Amino acid sequence: MTSHILDKPPQGAAEDWTVPQHWSRYTADDHAIWDMLFARQLALLPGRASQSYLRGLDLLRLSKPGIPDFTELSDRLMATTGWQVVAVPGLVPDAVFFDHLAHRRFVAGNFIRTRAQLDYLQEPDVFHDIFGHVPMLADPVFADYLQAYGKGGLRSLEYGALGRLARLYWYTVEFGLVQEEGALRIYGSGIVSSHGETRFALDDPSPNRIGFDLMRVMRTRYRIDDYQQSYFVIPDFATLLRATEETDFAPLYAEMAHLPDIRPDEIVAGDRVLSRGTQAHALSRA
């Protein structure tokens, strides 16, 4: 498979790394893979996904079959929260990524996985990026949070703290849980776009589920090759927005520089533990 992890803009990319989506170039099988993944996740998400996500999912029901046309999708999203979707050829440099977020542009890969990769893909494809992320961008509070995160990401580069801030993105935007009406719901794109983790994050006794705390999250390492060993739970999306907009991150970065990292499976003093995991899944994979 072609790698979509790049170190410079490929030929045909603009200075900001964006490229045309070339919707007309998708094959019938590309669209069939999207439709298969969409239907499979749609059957799982009611009662599991956040209401904000489910409401935003209607943005993806566009006039064309299969993979959404980014132009049509951006028109709907712009009218909803002022965001747009731009195509990129793969993973872009951090500064480029943050700058797009800070200007309410969500970057999405324009390729889709193969049938052999339905359940695991190392590089985010159009299904992960669009099905996983875009519905949440229709929520005004979460949309503001992601823009604030982009602005904070640009500042983090000045402090050499990118790794810390990346953990915040991972444990919220990608793998976050939220409390709704007395129950836990998923909103992180890495969960809602994953057939297996949609069940695992809420139902399995293996992972820890811990109340959100900004510094705690930024000190916690994560797994990129398996289901998460801990999930962090927010009470609502306004909490994320306040944590990002009202916190002076520079003193936090300075303080964390003298503190050890926390293991992905670890419970520490001060945690608000909603459920302590058995870590059986991680042990079985060791």
Give the tens place of pLDDT for each residue, 66-118: 999 999 999 999 999 999 999 998 888 899 999 999 999 999 999 999 898 88
Confidence of residue 1 (pLDDT cuts 50, 70, 90): very low
Give the tens place of pLDDT for each residue, 222-233: 999 899 999 999
CATH homologous superfamily of 23-285 equals Aromatic amino acid hydroxylase (1.10.800.10)
Q: Is 185 left (phi over 0), alpha (psi -120 to 50) or beta?
A: beta
Strand partners, 180: 183
User: Is it the case that residue 268 has pLDDT exceeding 60?
Assistant: yes
Side by side, the strands of the sheet bearing 183-186 are 183-186, 177-180, 230-234, 208-211, 273-275
Find the mean pLDDT for residues 38-63: 94
User: Is it the case that residue 63 has pLDDT exceeding 90?
Assistant: no
DSSP conformation letters of 89-128: SSB--HHHHHHHHHTTEEEEES----GGGSS--SS--HII
237 and 178 Cβ atoms separated by less than 8 Å: yes
What is the value of pTM for the model shown? Answer: 0.93
pLDDT value at residue 7: 67
Domain ranges of the chain: 23-285
Find the mean pLDDT for residues 159-181: 95
pLDDT value at residue 283: 86
Tell the burial category of 58 from Cβ atoms under 10 Å away from its Cβ (0-12, 13-18, 19+): exposed
DSSP three-state, residue 73: helix
